[in-house]
Amino acid sequence: MNKLLPISVCVVARNEENNLPRLLESIHGWVEEIVVVLNNTTDSSAEVAARYGARVEHRPWIGYRDTKNVALGLASQPWVLALDSDEEVSLALKEEILGFFSQELHLRYSGARFPRKTWFLGRWMRHGDSYPDRQLRLFRRGAGRWGGSPEHDKIELEGDCREMRAELHHFSNPSIGSYVSKINVFSDYFLKRQLEKRAVWSVSEAVFRAWWRFVRAYFVRLGLLDGFPGLFIAASTAYATFVRYSRLYEHLHNDPPPVQATPRDISG
d(CA 223, CA 101): 35
Quick check: 32 pLDDT over 60? yes
**Average pLDDT value for residue range 138-167:** 95
Buried b vs exposed e over 108-128: b needs ≥16 C-beta within 10 Å? ebbbbbbbbbbbbbeeebbbb
User: What order do you get walking across the sheet with 87-89 strand by strand?
Assistant: 87-89, 168-170, 116-120, 123-125
- Looking at residue 80, what is its pLDDT? 98
Contact 59, 39 (CB under 8 A): yes
Q: Of 137, 82, 139, which Cα lies nearest the Cα of 106? A: 139
Q: What pLDDT, on the 0 to 100 scale, is given for residue 2?
A: 63
Average pLDDT over residues 32-46: 97
Q: Which domains does the chain have, with CATH numbers?
A: 5-170 (3.90.550.10), 176-253 (no CATH)
Residue 197 — pLDDT band, cuts 50, 70, 90? very high
Q: Is the pLDDT of residue 210 over 50?
A: yes
Angle at 241 between CA 236 and CA 246, to 5 degrees: 125
pLDDT of amino acid 55: 98
Q: Which of 32, 155, 33, 25 is nearest to 88 (CA)?
A: 25
Task: Please give the mean pLDDT across all residues of the chain.
Answer: 95
Burial of 78 (0-12, 13-18, 19+ CB in 10 A): middle
Quickly state the pLDDT bin for 257 (edges 50, 70, 90): confident
Q: What is the 3-class SS of 128-170, one letter each residue?
A: HHHCCCCEEEEEEECCEEEEECCCCEEEEECCCEEECCCCEEE
HEC string for 44-68: CHHHHHHHCCCEEEECCCCCHHHHH
Task: Give the whole-angstrom CA distance, residue 87 versus residue 135.
Answer: 12
The values of phi and psi at residue 200, to 5°, are -105, 130
Residue 70 to residues 24, 133, 152: CA-CA distances in angstroms?
Answer: 20, 25, 17
pLDDT bracket for residue 261 (50, 70, 90): confident
Report the first-to-last Cα separation within the chain, whole angstroms: 98
Contact 113, 155 (CB under 8 A): no
pLDDT at residue 77 is higher than 50: yes
Check pLDDT > 90 for residue 204.
yes
Confidence of residue 1 (pLDDT cuts 50, 70, 90): very low
Query: What average pLDDT does the segment 250-261 reach?
Result: 85
DSSP 33: E
Q: What percent of the chain has pLDDT over 90?
A: 91
